[in-house]
Structure 1
Amino acid sequence: MNENISKEPIIRKTIFLFIGLTIVMLFFQGFYFYNMINKIENEEIKNYENIIGTLVKIAPEKQYEIGQALFENKQKDTLDLGRKLLKQYGYKKNMYLLNNKISGKVYKNFLYKIFIVSIVIIISFTMLAISGYRSILKKLEEISYGLKRVVEGDCSIRLEDNKEGIICKVAHEFNIMVTRTKITLENLDKEKEKTKALVNDISHQLKTPLSSLELFNTLLIEEDLEEDERIEFLEKSKYEINNLQWLVKALIKVSRLETGMIDIKPESNDIKNTLLEAINSIYGKALEKNLNIKADNLFSYKINHDKRWTKESLVNILENALKYTKEAGYINISMEKSEMYIKINIRDSGIGIDKQEINKIFNRFYRGNDEIVQSTEGSGIGLYLAKWIIEQEGGTIRVKSVLGVGTTFSVIIFT
């Protein structure tokens, strides 16, 4: 605490000035004291001169004895005689210094000057203390005003914090707090926008199947339908219900991931095993569609990734390839290794993606404008989730596609 106080510029400056003024005061006091002693000594010399001169004038023949009496021999009888004589003129032992006619005037002048100097120094000390207090108070008022601005929602204010001392340290911490508050508020605004967009997307996604179900239900209740027509509407209702169930599950998964309810925890795992589990998850569907699944250059390599969610990401990409690849087509899977990353390539012979849609396919709920895409079951969440998961692990996904030829998804996980 004391070390921090000594580093405070305002306090340090005040202390230095106090020390400086104290030294000046001591210097002046010493100077005046020395000057006073000299004056008293001069007065004593004048007094001796007057005494010797007077005595010699009265008794010239006793000049030698007079000098001996003043400067050499001090006889008790002569001292007693002199003391009695001086007492008659008001001079006695231990008399009050100010009443001394020899040194009193000099001492009074000394006390007067010391008094003036002391008053000046006290006033200087007081002004210095007030100046330091005002400087500290001004800084505290700036911090108080800044806090008020932040409470009112203004996070643009910054305080000067490029000096040493407690106050500048507080100002620095204040600036950090404001920056973090600003980031937090910006993140809250982003979260609000995300929530708003999610609600809008959910509303849009649920609107069509719910409208269809409402229509089918109305027809089944109000219309006199043939048995085959009734069965057809029931089948369509079942299809829409299945879509709704799948959509709700996907939405729950998205919301849990985005709100942090589910943590992505990368750990050292063999990426080959994760990839093989993802391939096995869609292998049965690929056989039903008569697709050729080929895995080349797969190798074991331990890399930090969340096995469960990385598998989820790869499954979503593989299912996307499965959906939009015609029967008897192929899906080729391979791995590449560099010093910085592992790359998993998933190449299909599907319908391809238009160049104008490449940058949109990872948007939540986005589905392409192609007729095949629109007629195929899906919600536009799979690829969004795939990229989100990989990016949470510090990786990325790249896409190359030729319309009518096929698409290659490259999942890059950094080592």
Structure 2
Amino acid sequence: MEQTSSKRIGFFDLWQNPEVKMTGRLIILLFLLFLMMTSTGIHYFGEQFKKEYVESNAAMMGALVKEHPELQDDLAVLLSKDISDEDKKQGIAILSEYGISATMSMKFFPEISDLFSSLLVLTTGSLLLFFMSSFSLNFFFINRIYKRIRELTGYADQILEGGSISPLKEMREGDFSKLTHSFNRMRFVIQKNIEELQKEKQFLADLMSDISHQLKTPLAALTMYNDILTEKELSKEQKLMFLDQGRQQLERMNWLIQSLLKLAKLDVGAIQFQKKNASLSRTVQGSVEILKDFAVQKGVEVKVTTDEECFMKHDTDWLTEALLNVIKNAIEHTPSSGMVSVMLEKSETLYRIQIRDEGEGIEADEIHNIFKRFYKGKKNKKSGSVGIGLSLSKAIVEGHNGMIQVESSMGEGTTFSFLFPIGG
């Protein structure tokens, strides 16, 4: 994956940062202000120099005319005409004879010296002002950037320390906006992982509690049977009876542990359903066939009705497990000589598997609890049921993007409906 740090940052990418935009605009503004001040100063001193030049020529002409009035017109003409290089050289030579040259100190030219000093003060002041403004501006924005970095550092420390913290306020654009967004995403992911770990920890604690609680009864029964077999004189028939009861308790424990492990794996997503496009009709019929002998023992007829051959992507083993739990539950609650009907229907939008019994029904205030783990209805408190089969069936059906609906009438029976969207 390409690393962000390896990407070359162009001018336009950098310009997206609001700090860079504001700094650039203020620097341009300061430069324009400095340029305007410098131009105004140069223009002012140019005017002053022109004034000094005119006044100097005027003073010289006044002095000459005072001594030689007859030269007034000639001097005026000379000052207004262009001066040739030859005239300039001749004048420089004459002035040199009297010790006047360009190498003389500025103190002998007070007017020019004053102008130069003022220009130097203006230029130095402008440069100093520009430097101080730029330095202050740079310090302000660097401090602002580092303040933001310190905020992000503190925010990162809070994330590492754990606990619930509010997301950072994100700016509209720029690298800090992207960094803030990444921090907020990191906070969300870390907090979500922490919550998941806490849920898994609680789930494990609940699972251990459930297993230990559910194993107490069969373990106590096995201990009692063992004590009876070892401490009392029993007939062969009595021994066989207690051994058979012990075997039943062992089978119950084995089924309980296997069911709990399956449910635990489904809860934590440790099982990946191997979904294949297979016949749903065969899965339903196969589930009923497995329970055929059990139904005969209970004296219950199981009637299967399927529409046309239905194909759906599903894990046949796991969906069979879900069907077995509900069909077995229906057989157990149907009186002898009663009937359990299993029907597969296909509509335009979904597949429906209905399992209806002729049992005593479920009270309305219990229906929303029957899928809770280890829940027993009021009429099942003394039965051998541990209340885990329906929870397992619900988890399996939901793992196939389906849902289970329950309808029940007291004294008439209960209908469980497995609903699977076509193409889901």
Are residues 1:29 and 2:38 paired?
A: yes
TM alignment of 1:73-92, pairs within 5 A: 74=83, 78-87=87-96, 91-92=100-101
TM-score normalised per structure 2: 0.88
Contact 2:295/2:302 (<8 A) preserved: yes
1:89-136 CA deviation, whole Å, 9 max, x = no partner?
765358788975553321221120121122122111111111111211
In structure 2, runs of 5+ residues without a counterpart are 1-8
Larger CA deviation: 306-315 vs 115-124: 306-315
- Indicate if the aligned counterparts of 2:285 and 2:304 stay in contact, CA closer than 8 A: no
Matched residue, 2:148: 139
| Cα deviations by residue, 1:364-392 (Å, 9 ceiling, x for unpaired) | 12232315x733x4432211011112223
Aligned partner of 2:67 in structure 1 is 58
Alignment of 1:1-400 (within 5 A): 1-2=9-10, 3-72=12-81, 74=83, 78-87=87-96, 91-93=100-102, 101-264=110-273, 266=275, 268-296=277-305, 298-338=307-347, 340-370=349-379, 374-375=382-383, 377-400=384-407
- State the match for 1:406 in structure 2: 413
Task: Work out the CA distance in 2 between the residues paired with 1:340 and 1:414.
Answer: 6
Task: Please give the alpha-carbon distance, in whole angstroms, between the structure 1 residues aligned to 2:395 and 2:202.
Answer: 17
What is the rounded CA distance, in whole Å, between the counterparts of 1:315 and 1:153 in structure 2? 45
Separation in 2, partners of 1:5, 1:218: 84
- Is the CA contact (8 Å cut-off) linking 1:266 and 1:305 kept in structure 2? yes
Q: What secondary structure sits across from 1:299 in the alignment?
A: coil
280-289 or 340-349, larger mean C-alpha shift? 280-289
Calculate percent identity across the aligned residue pairs: 29
Q: What is the CA distance between 1:157 and its match in structure 2?
A: 2.8
Aligned to 1:370, the other structure's residue is in SS state helix
Change (3 A) 1:4 1:300: farther
Whether contact under 8 Å (1:299, 1:335) holds in the other structure is no
Shift of 1:337: 4.5
Q: Secondary structure at the match of 1:358?
A: helix
Distance 1:73 1:194 in 2: 106
CA displacement at 1:397 relative to structure 2: 0.9
SS at match of 2:353: strand
Give the Å deviation of 1:180.
2.6
8 A contact 1:161–1:171 mirrored in 2: yes
Further displaced range: 290-299 or 121-130 = 290-299
Q: 1:51 to 1:272 in 2, by over 3 A?
A: farther
In the aligned structure 2, how far is the partner of 1:393 from the partner of 1:347? 22
SS at match of 1:54: helix
Instruction: Output the CA distance in 1 between the equivalents of 2:49 and 2:132.
Output: 31
Q: Could you tell which deviates more after superposition, 256-265 or 398-407?
A: 256-265
Structure 1 position 66, deviation (Å): 2.2
- Helix, strand or coil at the partner of 1:103: helix
Confirm or deny: 8 A CA contact 2:370 2:390 kept in the other structure: yes
Query: What are the Cα deviations for residues 188-241 of structure 1, in whole angstroms up to 9, with x where unaligned?
Result: 222222222211111111111111111111222222323222222111111111
Q: Is the Cα–Cα contact under 8 Å of residues 98 and 107 in structure 1 kept in the other structure?
A: no
Paired with 1:226 and 1:177, the residues of 2 have a C-alpha distance of 71
Q: Give the residue type in structure 1 aligned to 2:164.
A: C
> In the aligned structure 2, how far is the partner of 1:321 from the partner of 1:403?
14
Aligned residues: 413
3-state DSSP class of the match of 1:408?
strand
CA distance in 1, matches of 2:118, 2:406: 99
Equivalent pair of 2:402/2:419 in contact (CA under 8 Å): yes
CA RMSD of aligned residues (A): 2.7
Matches of 1:91 and 1:309, distance apart in 2: 116
CA distance in 1, matches of 2:97, 2:235: 153
TM-score, scaled relative to structure 1? 0.89
* Deviation string, structure 1 residues 42-78 (Cα, Å, up to 9, x no partner): 2112222222222333333233432343332545664
| C-alpha distance in 2 between matches for 1:233 and 1:269 | 45
Q: CA deviation at 1:186?
A: 2.3
State the distance in 1 between where 2:86 and 2:265 align. 116
- Distance in 2 between residues matched to 1:340 and 1:182, nearest whole Å: 39
1:91 & 1:302 partners in 2: Cα distance?
Answer: 117
Q: Distance in 2 between matches of 1:202 and 1:146?
A: 42
Mapped contact 1:346–1:409 kept (Cα < 8 A):
yes
Deviation track 1:277-333 (CA, whole Å, cap 9, x = no partner) reads 333333443344443333335234444544432332222211211222222222222
Give the 3-state SS of the residue equivalent to 1:326 in structure 2: coil
**Long gaps (5+) in structure 1:** none
Instruction: Tell me the amino acid that sits aligned with residue 112 of structure 2.
Output: S
Cα 1:90/1:143, change in 2 over 3 Å: farther
